[in-house]
């Protein structure tokens, strides 16, 4: 580093009104005040960080105290101008209100007001971050602000004007500095890059300008950070995104495509790759939400100039999104799903798990309208089967091989007998590999584990009581063997096919797998599916049969009354997860 090296935001700080960028209204008002010699006693400059509040105050002070002043073009050479530039003048005093906020500091300031200026025509006090002053300090300065000694001017600067006492604001001329536009920031960054011989693309400058919230100082600081890399090679948009901690556009677009096509395993693989690069789940969720918002704007707008103004997308990015032909209703539903899960990601101790659930939930969206649903309504038999998957029906005593306290056999109505016969005819064929795997998946107690094994795992084969499952990479195998998932699969095996074993293997796109997509139910089954004939246990000689106790009407009513104390969202979660806690 050079001995006299200065950061770019200090080296290129505005030194005159013509150098101020994006604050035309302020420049016009102060210029007219100087030309008409109508200088107020106190000014209040408000605005976001990095928009030029302190710089404007210094320029105004130079214009008033220059040897040729008051003037709109200070000479930058006289003693007064040099002192203000170096912040060492005796006539222009800068005070940091954050570290001088008490009543004693206010009294000291009042005592300095009594001294006359030495080199210039005015004694000017620039109080930065004035909102940090205490109420006692504000009250002590009230009279001084209203009627200061002759040739004394106060210039207050703050990013939070609502915290300044109204009695102070009423004694000042207030000017609100606006955020600097993206176009102005890009133009200024290009000028400085050419002067400093920094090799950087226009897309990279656009990315910087769109991510600094209208602050030119922040954009110069970021350009200064990457300027070293721009000496030998060109700085690209991707490099800027890495420095900002943002996920690359192409990666987010690939993730959206996989989610849109309801490909769970590829979607989970995408977020695993993003996580491996150091992006936290919360950061990924925020980036994905912002990306979906931009996609929504692209879908609903045909003016590319408007899109570049209101989004962080360049022209090439917009064209890529338009070529995907996304359905706007489905994109909005995906966005709503991610936002709902984001609430949990922010506060969860295991945010990655909730990020997985968010992606799985977004992949499982069913967006058919009511009319299509009515046209494709299930038949009576199919409806009965679906009801049985959601709420287990009453089974014959001999099918369960259980002794229900030797209760007298109840009479069965004709309608109930029809349901039972239908269910008996539609029992899954347990010698079928797809049915076996579906039975196991539906017996997994944990909903996240159930969704993981049904959506990510690929069934390769079931042979000699061994189930072989394939995964695309080692990370997914590690997740499958984790404490949050593997015990749940063992419970399902214990409840269905005790003699079966599970083997996890890594596969690729050429590996032959069975085309099995288990249709999972959302509730936890209260009865394990029937085991295959080869492994079914003989229970005729069981000495201690299991007894099932059905909850009484009074217990059911008590549970319903307890639910009333919970909010609708909590009640929905209780019903969704059946009272179980998801890690």
Mean of all residue pLDDT scores within the chain: 78
pLDDT digits (tens, 9 = 90+) for 347-379: 888 899 999 999 999 988 754 443 344 444 444
Split at pLDDT 50, 70, 90, the class of 30 is very high
User: E strands, 37-82, where?
Assistant: 42-46
Residues 61 and 101 in one domain: yes
In a domain, 369, yes or no: no
**Domain finish residue from 244, 264, 280:** 244
User: Which residue is it, tokens 């690209």?
Assistant: 236
CATH code of the domain in which 336 resides? 1.20.272.10
What SS3 string covers 117-145? Answer: CCCCCCEEEEEECHHHCCHHHHHHHHHHH
Q: Give the C-alpha separation, 554 to 558, whole Å.
A: 6
Residues 492 and 444 in one domain: yes
In a domain, 407, yes or no: no
- Per DSSP, the three-state class of 174 is strand
**Domain finish residue from 136, 159, 176:** 176
Q: Give the C-alpha separation, 363 to 262, whole Å.
A: 4
How many other CB atoms are there within 10 angstroms of residue 334's CB atom? 25
Q: Return the pLDDT at 227.
A: 84
Q: Give the C-alpha separation, 445 to 224, whole Å.
A: 54
Give me the count of residues in the chain.
583
pLDDT digits (tens, 9 = 90+) for 500-513: 888 888 888 778 88
In a domain, 379, yes or no: no
Residues 299 and 172 in one domain: no
> In degrees rounded to 5, what are phi and psi of residue 67?
-60, -25
Residues 263 and 328 in one domain: yes
Q: Which of 369, 390, 325 is nearest to 523 (CA)?
A: 390
**Could you tell me the residue range of the domain that residue 560 belongs to?**
553-583
Residues 118 and 22 in one domain: yes
Q: Give the C-alpha separation, 260 to 581, whole Å.
A: 29
In a domain, 60, yes or no: yes
In a domain, 395, yes or no: no
Split at pLDDT 50, 70, 90, the class of 569 is low
The average pLDDT across 386-410 equals 42
> In degrees rounded to 5, what are phi and psi of residue 466?
-125, 125
Question: Has residue 521 got a pLDDT over 60?
Answer: no
Q: Give the C-alpha separation, 315 to 526, whole Å.
A: 55
Question: Has residue 425 got a pLDDT over 60?
Answer: no
- Residues 248 and 238 sit within 8 Å (Cβ to Cβ): yes
Q: Return the pLDDT at 555.
A: 61
CA 236 to centroid of chain Cα atoms? 24
Residues 203 and 296 in one domain: no
User: E strands, 440-511, where?
Assistant: 458-463, 466-471, 501-506
Q: Give the C-alpha separation, 242 to 231, whole Å.
A: 19
CATH code of the domain in which 53 resides? 3.40.50.300
Residues 140 and 155 in one domain: yes
Residues 20 and 160 in one domain: yes
Residues 311 and 196 in one domain: no
In a domain, 36, yes or no: yes
Q: Return the pLDDT at 239.
A: 85
CA 327 to centroid of chain Cα atoms? 22
Q: Give the C-alpha separation, 156 to 60, whole Å.
A: 12
Residues 21 and 167 in one domain: yes
Q: Return the pLDDT at 377.
A: 41
Q: Return the pLDDT at 543.
A: 44
The average pLDDT across 468-477 equals 85
Q: Which range is most confident: 21-35, 298-312, 472-486? A: 21-35
Question: Has residue 541 got a pLDDT over 70?
Answer: no
Split at pLDDT 50, 70, 90, the class of 582 is very low
Q: Return the pLDDT at 556.
A: 61
Residues 188 and 254 in one domain: no
pLDDT digits (tens, 9 = 90+) for 272-287: 988 888 889 999 999 9
- Residues 304 and 294 sit within 8 Å (Cβ to Cβ): no
Exposure class string for 213-239: b at 16+ Cβ within 10 A, else e:
ebbbbbbbbbbbebbebbeeeebbbeb
CATH code of the domain in which 505 resides? 3.30.300.180
pLDDT digits (tens, 9 = 90+) for 219-234: 999 999 888 776 677 8
Query: Which neighbouring-strand residues pair with 124?
Result: 92, 153
Residues 355 and 260 in one domain: yes
In a domain, 421, yes or no: no
**Domain finish residue from 217, 244, 271:** 244
How many other CB atoms are there within 10 angstroms of residue 525's CB atom? 17
In a domain, 491, yes or no: yes
- Residues 80 and 66 sit within 8 Å (Cβ to Cβ): yes
Query: CB-based contacts of 300: which residues, under 8 Å, 6+ apart?
Result: 328
CATH code of the domain in which 200 resides? 1.10.8.60
Pairing of strands 458-463, 466-471: antiparallel
Q: Is the peptide bond before 418 cis (omega within 30 degrees of 0)?
A: no
Point out the least confidently predicted range of 206-210, 324-328, 431-435, 532-536.
Answer: 532-536
Please count the structural domains in the chain: 5
The average pLDDT across 104-120 equals 85
Q: Return the pLDDT at 396.
A: 39
């Amino acid at each position: 580093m050079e001995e006299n090296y200065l950061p770019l935001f200090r080296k290129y700080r505005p030194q005159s009104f013509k150098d101020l960028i994006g604050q035309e209204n302020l420049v016009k008002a102060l210029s007219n005040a100087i030309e008409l010699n109508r200088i107020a006693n106190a000014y209040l400059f408000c605005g976001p960080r990095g928009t030029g509040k302190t710089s404007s105050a210094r320029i105004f002070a130079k214009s008033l105290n220059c040897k040729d002043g008051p003037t709109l073009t200070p000479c930058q050479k006289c003693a007064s101008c040099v002192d203000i530039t170096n912040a060492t003048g005796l006539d222009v005093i800068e005070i940091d209100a954050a570290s001088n906020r008490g009543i004693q500091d206010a009294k000291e300031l009042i005592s300095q007001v009594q001294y006359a200026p030495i080199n210039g025509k005015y004694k000017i006090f620039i109080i930065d971050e004035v909102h940090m002053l205490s109420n006692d300090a504000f009250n002590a300065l009230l009279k001084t602000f209203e009627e200061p000694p002759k040739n004394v001017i106060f210039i207050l600067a703050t990013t939070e004007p609502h915290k300044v006492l109204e009695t102070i604001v009423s004694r000042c001329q207030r000017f609100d500095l606006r955020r600097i536009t993206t176009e102005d920031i890009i133009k200024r960054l290009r000028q400085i890059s050419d002067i400093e011989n920094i090799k950087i693309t226009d897309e990279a400058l656009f990315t910087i300008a769109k991510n600094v919230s209208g602050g030119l100082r922040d954009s110069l600081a970021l350009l200064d950070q990457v300027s070293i890399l721009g000496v030998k090679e060109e700085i690209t948009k991707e490099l800027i995104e890495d420095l900002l901690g943002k996920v690359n556009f192409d990666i987010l677009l690939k993730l959206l495509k996989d989610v849109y096509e309801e490909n769970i395993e590829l979607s989970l693989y995408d977020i695993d790759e993003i996580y491996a690069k150091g992006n936290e789940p919360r950061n990924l969720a925020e980036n994905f939400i912002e990306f979906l918002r931009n996609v929504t704007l692209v879908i609903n707008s045909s003016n590319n100039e408007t899109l570049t103004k209101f989004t962080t997308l360049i022209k090439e990015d917009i064209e890529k999104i338009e070529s995907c032909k996304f359905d706007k209703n489905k994109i909005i539903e995906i966005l709503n799903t991610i936002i709902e899960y984001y609430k949990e990601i922010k506060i969860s101790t295991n945010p990655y798990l909730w990020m997985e659930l968010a992606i799985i939930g977004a992949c499982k969206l069913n967006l058919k309208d009511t009319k299509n649903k009515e046209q494709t309504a299930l038949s009576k038999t199919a409806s009965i089967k679906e009801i049985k998957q959601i709420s287990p029906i009453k089974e014959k005593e001999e099918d369960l091989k259980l002794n229900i306290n030797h209760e007298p056999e109840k009479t069965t109505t004709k309608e109930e007998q029809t349901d039972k016969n239908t269910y008996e005819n539609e029992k899954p064929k347990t010698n079928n590999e797809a049915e076996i795997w579906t039975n196991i998946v539906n017996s997994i107690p944990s909903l996240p584990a159930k969704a993981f094994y049904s959506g990510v795992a690929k069934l390769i084969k079931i042979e000699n009581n061994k189930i072989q499952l394939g995964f695309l990479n080692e990370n997914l195998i590690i997740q499958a063997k984790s404490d949050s998932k593997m015990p749940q699969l063992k419970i399902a095996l214990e409840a269905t096919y005790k003699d079966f074993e599970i083997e996890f293997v890594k596969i690729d796109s050429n590996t032959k797998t069975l085309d099995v997509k288990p249709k999972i139910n959302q509730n936890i089954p209260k009865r394990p599916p029937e085991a295959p004939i080869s492994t079914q246990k003989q229970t005729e000689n069981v000495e201690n049969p299991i007894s099932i106790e059905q909850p009484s009407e009074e217990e059911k009513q008590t549970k319903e009354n307890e639910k009333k104390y919970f909010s609708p969202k909590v009640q929905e979660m209780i019903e969704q997860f059946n009272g179980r806690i998801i890690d």
